[in-house]
Amino acid sequence: MKVLLIEDDANLAFMLIDGLESEGFEVLHLNKGEEALKAFERFSPDIILLDVNLKGVLNGFEVGRTVRQSGNIPIIFTTARTQYEDLQQGFGIGNVDYLKKPYSIRELSLRINALLSRPGNQPAIEPNSLQTDKKIGKYLFNPVEHCLTIDHETIHLPKNECLVLNLLVDKQGKVVQRNDILNAVWGEKEGFMRESSLNNILSSLRSKLSSDSQVVIQSIPKVGCKLIILEQ
> Looking at per-residue confidence, does 98 or 183 come out higher?
98
How many whole angstroms separate alpha carbon 91 and alpha carbon 62?
Answer: 13
Residue 215 pLDDT exceeds 90: yes
Share of the chain above pLDDT 90, in %: 17
Positions of CATH 3.40.50.2300 in the chain: 2-116
Contact 90, 59 (CB under 8 A): no
Residue 122's pLDDT is 55
d(CA 42, CA 69): 16
Inter-CA distances, 194 with 18, 117, 138, 190, 226, Å = 9, 28, 30, 6, 18
Which of these, 10, 16, 58, 14, lies nearest to 36 by C-alpha position?
Answer: 58
Q: Which CATH number fits domain 2-116: 3.30.450.40, 3.40.50.2300, 1.20.1260.10, 3.30.450.20?
A: 3.40.50.2300
Cβ neighbors of 1 (< 8 A, separation 6 or more) are: 24, 25, 26, 46, 47, 116, 123, 159
Q: What is the pLDDT of residue 206?
A: 93
- Distance in angstroms (rounded) separating the CA atoms of residues 123 and 117: 9
Region 60-76: mean pLDDT is: 85
Task: Report pLDDT for 212.
Answer: 93
Checking if the pLDDT of 208 tops 90, the result is: yes
| Cα dihedral 203, 204, 206, 211 sign | positive
Mean pLDDT lowest among 24-28, 46-50, 77-81, 139-143: 77-81
User: Which range in 68-77, 141-150, 207-216, 223-232 is most confidently predicted, on average pLDDT?
Assistant: 207-216
Q: Which of 28-37, 62-71, 167-176, 201-210 has the lowest mean pLDDT?
A: 62-71
Task: State the average pLDDT for the chain.
Answer: 82
Structure confidence by residue, pLDDT tens digits, 183-203: 777 665 555 556 777 888 899
The answer, yes or no, to whether residue 170 has pLDDT greater than 60, is yes
- 138-168 residue pLDDT tens: 999 988 788 899 998 889 888 788 889 999 9
> Residue 42 corresponds to which amino acid?
R
**What is the share, in percent, of the chain residues with pLDDT greater than 70?**
88
> Where does residue 4 fall: left (phi above 0), alpha (psi -120 to 50 degrees), or beta otherwise?
beta
Residues with Cβ within 8 Å of 150's Cβ and at least 6 positions away in sequence, in order, are 138, 139, 140, 211, 212
pLDDT reported for residue 128: 41
| DSSP reduced 3-state for 61 | helix
Grade residue 130 by pLDDT with cuts at 50, 70 and 90: very low
Residues forming a β-bridge with 228: 216
The CATH T-level fold of domain 129-229 is Arc Repressor Mutant, subunit A (1.10.10)
- Shortest CA distance to 186 belongs to which of 27, 6, 73, 39? 27
Each as own residue / partner, the long-range contacts of residues 65-72 (CB below 8 Å, 24 or more positions apart, any chain) are 65/93, 66/37, 67/37, 67/40, 68/93, 68/94, 70/40, 70/41, 72/120, 72/121
pLDDT over 50 at 131, yes or no: no
Q: Look at the alpha carbons of 31, 37, 42, 46 in this order and tell me if their dihedral is positive or negative.
A: positive
The segment(s) of the chain belonging to CATH 1.10.10.10 are 129-229
pLDDT score at 70: 76
Give pTM, 2 decimals.
0.54
CB 46 within 8 A of CB 3: yes
